[in-house]
Amino acid sequence: MLYQVGALRHLADDHIYQHRPAEAAECLDRALELSQASGERWNRSELSGMRARAALEMGDLPAADELIVTDT
């Protein structure tokens, strides 16, 4: 599962770079689910920060703020 989380993180980074935040959010949501289900914490802070950025780029400031202040 660790490799899947990492792969989804990098795919989401590519989507963000291409200004496709909705696609990035889908990858990041799945990566966060896998990270939480497996107990993997190595990527989690980066995933949450990237997910907040995707939410912000989609114009959802409340969701971005919640993702930053929520301890996952």
User: Domain limits at 53?
Assistant: 2-69
What is residue 71's predicted lDDT score, i.e. its pLDDT?
57
- pLDDT of the residue at 69: 83
CATH number of the domain encompassing residue 26? 1.25.40.10
For residue 30, the one-letter residue type is R
Per-residue pLDDT for the chain (72 aa), expressed as one digit of tens each? 779 999 999 999 999 999 999 999 999 999 999 999 999 888 999 999 999 999 999 999 999 999 988 755
pTM for this predicted structure: 0.89
Residues in the chain: 72
Torsion of CA 59, 60, 64, 70, to 10 degrees: 180
- Report how many domains make up the chain: 1
